[in-house]
Amino acid sequence: MRKKIRCIWVLGIALGFLAGCSSHTLYLVRHAEKAATPANDPPLTAVGQQRAQALLDTLRNKNIEYIFSTNTLRTRSTAEPLSQAIGVPIEPYATDTLWEVARRLTKLRGGNVLVVGHSNTLLPLLDQLPVTHQKKTIPDSDYDNLFIVTVKRRFLRPPLIRLEEGTFGALAE
């Protein structure tokens, strides 16, 4: 009987270890190209709509289970083609509490995540994860950045978080 209990206990610890060692990937992008007007919440331009389609093509087979976007027309429109294609709803997030957003993103379990933000919120969000990035600013004309953050959960240790910087779609002009 003791052997059986010990075996069940060891098996439980092993399963807990394996469950605690999962990983997921965060894909962070700035919204696609936006129109000049209206100034407060512009839509995407035709080029921006093409970039949103390129984002769909890039992430379609990446096991995206969560999509987060700020509550602006341009960010939602950037995420919408992927959301519709894979049937994952877009969840809004606020940019005034990026540390809470970062904490939530690192604690997610399961599939991967798309986060659509702005030129002035993506790098501060990466800082909250925290990861070291090469970019110090994202210029207003820069829409093609793709930040790929891998979050590896480890048993009884903080997650291991790594960043890869790339681009998607046509190069921004």
pLDDT above 80: residue 18: no
Q: Which of 5-14, 67-76, 90-99 has the lowest mean pLDDT?
A: 5-14
Token match 């009884």: residue?
156
Per residue in 118-140, pLDDT (tens digit) is 999 999 999 999 899 999 999 99
Does 3.40.50.1240 match the CATH number of domain 22-167? Answer: yes
- The residue extents of the domains of the chain are 22-167
Torsion of CA 145, 68, 81, 121, to 10 degrees: -30
**pLDDT tens track for 32-73:** 999 999 999 999 999 999 999 999 999 999 999 999 999 999
